[in-house]
Amino acid sequence: MLSRAQEARVREVLGSHAPGTSPAYCLEHLAASTQIPAGHLADLAAFVRRLRVYGACQTSYGGICSSDGQATKRLLITGVASDDHTSFGAPDEARQSP
């Protein structure tokens, strides 16, 4: 499980882009840009799935990773353009302990 600080960094990276642009990150480069160790890629993938469910990001297979400009056949994650980014907080609310 990612820490709240790591989750916040992911939300920040996916949510901070110029209007009209949507950089796409492969999972490995998203992890590197948010200081998440490679050993936690599965946790990052699970968090990205939750963000996607809440509409805070989109995923696709194949394309250009904005981080290094290389073509990839792997999963690409793109932040969703939003004026208020309120949806980025939704996964934290769902994280409450039973």
Q: Which residue from 44, 54, 41, 59 is spatially nearest to 7, judged by alpha carbons?
A: 44
Per-residue pLDDT tens digits for 20-61: 788 999 999 999 999 999 999 999 999 999 999 999 999 999
Q: Which range has the top average pLDDT, 53-62, 74-83, 89-98?
A: 53-62
End-to-end Cα distance, the chain:
16
Reading across the β-sheet that carries 24-26, which strands appear in turn?
A: 24-26, 71-79, 57-64
Percent of the chain with pLDDT over 90: 65
* Residue 18 banded pLDDT, cuts 50, 70, 90: confident
Q: Alpha-carbon distance 65 to 55, whole Å?
A: 20
* Residue 87 banded pLDDT, cuts 50, 70, 90: very low
Determine if residue 48 is left, alpha or beta; phi over 0 gives left, psi from -120 to 50 gives alpha, anything else beta: alpha
**Residue range 82-89: mean pLDDT, rounded:** 49
- pTM score of the predicted model: 0.79
DSSP 3-state of 42: helix
Which one has a higher pLDDT value, 82 or 52?
Answer: 52
- The residues, ordered by sequence, that sit 6+ positions from 18 with a Cβ below 8 Å of its Cβ are none
